[in-house]
Amino acid sequence: MKSVGEIDYYIIFTTRKLSANANVDLITHIKTETQIKDAQILGKEWINLTLKTKPEIVKTLNLNKYSLPLRIFPENIKKVIQAFIKNKEAVESAKNAPYSYDFIPDIKKKNELNKLSEEYFKIIEERNQSYFNEIKKFLENPANEEFKNNYFNVVEEINNKLAIRTNEYNKFEELFEELFNCIYCVCPELQEDSRLIYVFIHFMYCNCDIGKRPR
């Protein structure tokens, strides 16, 4: 290609780490062997830095799915759910309760702000809303102050991490799935009652503890 004038420059991308010395040596070798005008080798460090500082590239090329999943310390929420399960009367009451939870008046606006689809919110309403009043009573009970602290520690952790990574999610339900997987995989004690993992993270959202709030 060089001999027929079709190429004067090389740019090479690699997912390997590249030291400064190795970079200079390789570029010199390429230029000497090919007689091109110039060459650049862009290693893993450059690629990672560019993707971090140019989130629009990540979004345009749909690279979010290759990001590391959001991680939280699940021990706090595990304690809360296990304590709630022990209150069998509340759990049974929640299972049979009517859909009577008082959502904030502008819940639809909250859903729009957080890109939560109508279809997914309908799932929350139909499957988990009946638990919300019992969860609220559980957290407001002075006897459960320790678990209330555990609960808000999780809320704080989720909100802090979400503030950094909010542009990585096309829909808020993607965050719900990441949170569920994080808790489910690390807490085998909750796997028999895994539905309650969804119930609690949906409650956090509907109670305006996580996610953007309408103003």
The 10s digit of each residue's pLDDT in 110-155 is 999 999 999 999 999 998 988 999 999 999 999 999 999 999 999 9
pTM of the entire structure?
0.68
In this structure, is the dihedral angle defined by the CA atoms of residues 48, 161, 181 and 64, taken in order, positive or negative? negative
According to DSSP, the residues that pair with 39 across neighbouring strands are 10
What does the DSSP 8-state code read for residue 4?
T
Which of 153-157, 185-189, 190-194 ranks highest by mean pLDDT?
153-157
Within 10 Å of residue 32's Cβ, how many Cβ atoms?
9
* Structure-token pair, residue 209: 């503890």
The 3-class SS string of 83-103 reads HHHHCHHHHHHHHHCCCCCCC
